[in-house]
Amino acid sequence: MQEQHRKNEIIDLNTEGNDNIPAIRLFSKEDGSSSFERGSIPTLKPMNITTFWINNKTEEWEKNIHPAPRKQYVITTKGKIKFKVSNGSTFIIEPGIILLAEDTTGEGHSWEMVDSAGWERVYLPISEGAENYFTHEI
């Protein structure tokens, strides 16, 4: 089965009045490769997270292929980041799009900054066994 993703698709970030915020979910497949899907996460829904932290630093190893260290939401507050999965497909994360990182096993993903000198983000680890509230785009 061959996967197809729309490469670098523009996502409408005008979500005012909408009950959902655009999201992209990274996940591991049974064969150890990584993939992604587009969707959304509802607003005003209490999330089961363990803690959070803010980061504005990056180390070179982070840009290399790696799995997510834990299931987590990553909220970008500044920067434009291009992620790449196993089959070479890419997507862009920027303010207004939530990244749901669930590719905790296998090959993982890589990323690079696009048109930005830095990446400011908030990490929100999801509690073990908690619902992620992601809804796949149809």
The strand order across the sheet containing 81-84 reads 90-93, 81-84, 110-113
Tell me if 11 is assigned to some domain: no
Domain presence at residue 45: yes
Residue 5 included in any domain? no
* Pairwise CA distance, residues 18 & 32, whole Å: 35
Taking only the tens place, the pLDDT of each residue in 60-109 is: 777 789 999 999 999 999 999 999 999 999 999 999 999 999 999 999 99
Count of structural domains, the chain: 1
Evaluate whether residue 6 is within a structural domain: no
Residue 128 confidence (pLDDT) above 60: yes
Q: Please report whether residue 99 resides in a domain.
A: yes
CATH number at residue 67: 2.60.120.10
- For the cut 60, the answer to whether the pLDDT of residue 22 exceeds it is yes
Kindly give, in sequence order, each residue whose CB lies less than 8 Å from that of residue 49, ignoring residues fewer than 6 positions away.
Answer: 73, 124, 125, 126, 127, 130
The answer on pLDDT for 27 being more than 50 is yes
Dihedral through CA 32, CA 36, CA 40, CA 44, nearest 10? Answer: 40
Whole-angstrom distance, CA of residue 125 vs CA of residue 87: 26
Q: Where are the alpha helices (DSSP H) in 1-138?
A: 60-63
**Could you list the residue range(s) of the whole structural domain that residue 105 is in?**
20-130
Is 138 a member of any domain? no
pLDDT tens profile 36-66? 999 999 999 899 998 999 999 887 777 789 9
pTM (2 d.p.): 0.85
